[in-house]
Amino acid sequence: MSTPFVCRQCTTRSSQFHSVRIRPRPSEPRAPAVLSIAALPIWSVPAEQQREISTGYGFAGNQGTKSPTYNSGLQDFQYDSVIEDQPRWNGQLVKFTNWRRPEVKKLGKLQVLGSQDLKKKILRCLGDYRIVHDDLIRFYSLSPQEARHAISQLERLLGGREAAEAGARLEQFHLWKSHFKELSEIVSGSHPTPGNDDDSPEHPLWTYSVRHDSEAMKEVWQRQDQTRRQYLWPQTIVSTFRSHLSTIPNLIRATFQPSWCPSYIVEDVVYLLSRTLDNAQASKNDQWQLIELVFFLLKNSTPRFMILEQRVIWKVMSLIPTSRVAEFHERLKNIEHPLNQNTLLHFASRFARSSNHKVQAAEILHSLSGVPGFDINSPVSISVCTSLLSVEEGKLPGNHAAPDELFKMLLDAGFQPNILTLSTLMRNFCVRGRVEVALDIFDLLAHRNIQPDAHIFSILINGAKHALDIESLQRIVNMIDARKAWFLYLVNDLLEFIYQYNESQRGHRRRQRKTDTARAWRLMVQVYLKFFKPDPLQKLTLFPLENLLATRQQQVSPKLQGIDRFTASLKPLPNALLLQPDSITLGLMFRVHFWTIQNPVPLQMYYKHFMEKLREGDPIITQIVKDQGTMVFDTFLRDFMQFKSTLKKGLLMVQGMHDRANQEKEKLGKNILHPQPSVHTYTILITALRNHHHTQGVIVTLIMMIKEGIEPNIITWNAVIGALLQKGYLEEAVRVLQNLKQVGLESNARTVQEITKVSKHKRRHILKLMSEDRVYTSDQLSFARSLLRRWEKGDNRLIDHRHKSKSRKTAANKLPKLTQLSGIV
């Protein structure tokens, strides 16, 4: 059966909220196949307008269960006959243009002098409430944004209502809005709020609203008759604003009923409460109250009951973690709450930055792509897409949020990638170890005639380094050579690749590790001299670099043959184009060189040489210290502490760092060339003392760093745990393990490794101790001192008592000046 034709003019007339009886002219024949008003589809009348209007205080709700009453005479009317040969609708929608009727246009010029004039104008504008926008601003003292929301409230409140019903609803709307200016001044602090409101209704709820919780208030409220509740509710809200603003959230939770509470009051209350958070004096409790109120309303509201201002949604979103943002978004969808494009992009941006919610972000972007007027390639959308494709190393999303799947979803939504998004996607695949896919994306750049920059080449080199893929690295270097695009940090990445590759192949014994590192150092020097000027590195070494290259190297280890061939294949830059190394380059070469030294004598020579250059103000040495802080000193300390003969030298070096830093700060007010020992410095010191079995020194150093205001990190605590376990102090080690959560740290794989290294018998005892419930202080200094006191007491906590007294005596003799380092005990 074909769909009967109804002209646009008749459809528009039938959708108006007031009824007009139209009679057909007798001389015109009727068309039996034409649809009547009674047969209009149900969606022509909004669902919220089909509920019965509750009796009581001023038709408080903006929705009911009773359908709007249409004139029954309309049901028998049929439109004029339709010519048979008229073309049928082809299914294509044409943009609708809203033409105002002449009588409505005249209303725009009507001057509003009082409330009666305003209400008449609202009722006569035939649903086009934009006409009264300026009148709402002037009469109710609203901002333009607040006036736009008031227009939305009027559309939902009066749409489809008969004149009498619309007038009654409008009267109550007017009464509420007349208080809006006063309530706005209260929340902004510009209006006095007396302790008691003389106009407050006499009701026991007032006592409970101040002194009791929501459940007590709800019990008192439910005792009242529904008609009286509807009458009291708007007055109660206004009076509570005047007297006890902080109790508004509890009052709403105790009295809210979507069947009769006016939605415009609920919306305005939430909006006004959100404005209180703009005050600098707003507390965390105020934020929590608003968040919980919004979640309560979303949970207990019926679909399409209310429309919160987008500003309120953004405010709530900014105050909660991403996990609750996901719940917030889901609840808004459940009540069919409309969200504009900007708000949806805010949701997508929050989800895109979380590795666990990237799918939700992609779904929002995909749904927005079907909205007319939305441009997924706008700057804001591209920013969200870039965040969506970004993956932090160590926080990889699951397979359902793999970069290729997300990228495909964006392409389906019309996304046109640029060099920024493609480079982000390349980095994601590099982080996942899939360099070959990143190189395919690089080919896509060339296909789109996009010229790659040095940043993209750096991403590819780091991807090859992450995967330890020499073949991919050779391909990347060939592309750089072909474009003559060598930059400073690309060579730095290349040097670091050589070092990381060597670290992955080195032996387990210390002497073998130093031998392998020495070979990697020679290869790094070869690469350095092909791209950089030699003088800066020469200042950091006590021998000519040419001698290192001129000496015939030993047979290259099979593990390094691939990297050796790669190094030999690199083409050197002309002398005129050699680059000037930065502090990152020199710092890397410095550290690797020092890790090859196997004798303490050269170390002391280098330290003396370095300190002399620093006192002389050598520009290269001073720049390294300024840019990298304690890196040079940490390198010296690490090497000093590995030899027993220079153990004391390392302790004195840390003391010297303290003294020089304090003197420089007194003189200049800040540290420039003499930084204070950092968390890395103390961690190296603690690890070295642990390796030399000085458990007391470990704990004393821990106390010292905490007293200096430096918080230990998980690496520091792992070293402390290992030091305690190797001496058999299992209870103290368990205390450290259980105290990690108190200081906001999480154990990692190294922590587990420290525990698994002990014997099976000790591991069982550790599990038993960890099963006991204990409460520890979050004060790290007090905790560290308690460890020292327990260590000094001795008693019977040791599982392994062998060599107990001997080890303590040895530690005390070999570290006589450790406690004198800063006078901490």
Three-state DSSP class for residue 399 = helix
Tell which residue, 518, 460, 463, 523, has the closest CA to residue 495: 523
Residue 511 in this model has a pLDDT that exceeds 60: yes
How would you classify residue 433: left for phi > 0, otherwise alpha for psi between -120 and 50, otherwise beta? left
> What is the rounded CA–CA span in Å between residue 474 and residue 480?
10
pLDDT of 528 reads 93
**Which residues are paired to 532 by β-bridges?**
579
Residue 71 in this model has a pLDDT that exceeds 60: no
Residue 810 in this model has a pLDDT that exceeds 50: no
pLDDT of 68 reads 37
Task: Please give the backbone phi and psi of residue 532, each rounded to the nearest 5 degrees, phi first.
Answer: -115, 160
Three-state DSSP class for residue 532 = strand
> What is the rounded CA–CA span in Å between residue 399 and residue 405?
9
pLDDT of 398 reads 55
Residue of higher predicted confidence among 80 and 761: 761
**Which residues are paired to 51 by β-bridges?**
65
What is the average pLDDT score of the chain? 77
What is 522-543 written as a DSSP string?
HHHHHHHHHHB-SHHHHTT-SS
**Mean pLDDT of all residues in 734-755:** 83
Per-residue confidence band for 556, with pLDDT thresholds at 50, 70 and 90: low
> What is the rounded CA–CA span in Å between residue 751 and residue 764?
16
Residue 3 in this model has a pLDDT that exceeds 50: no
As a whole number of Å, the end-to-end CA separation of the chain is 97
Residue of higher predicted confidence among 419 and 659: 659
Structure tokens at 168: 């009654």
Three-state DSSP class for residue 84 = coil
pTM above 0.75, yes or no: no
Residue 30 in this model has a pLDDT that exceeds 80: no
Residue 806 in this model has a pLDDT that exceeds 80: no
Look at 187-201, 440-454, 465-479, 596-610 and tell me which has the smallest mean pLDDT. 187-201
Residue 284 in this model has a pLDDT that exceeds 80: yes
Residue 79 in this model has a pLDDT that exceeds 90: no
| CA angle (610 as vertex; 604, 611 as ends), nearest 5 | 90
Residue 204 in this model has a pLDDT that exceeds 90: no
Residue 203 in this model has a pLDDT that exceeds 60: no
Residue of higher predicted confidence among 810 and 687: 687
Contact 66, 50 (CB under 8 A): yes
pLDDT of 807 reads 44
The secondary structure of residue 43, as a DSSP letter, is: G
Contact 767, 730 (CB under 8 A): no
The secondary structure of residue 572, as a DSSP letter, is: P
Q: For the chain, count helices (H), then strands (E).
A: 41, 0
Residue 145 in this model has a pLDDT that exceeds 80: yes
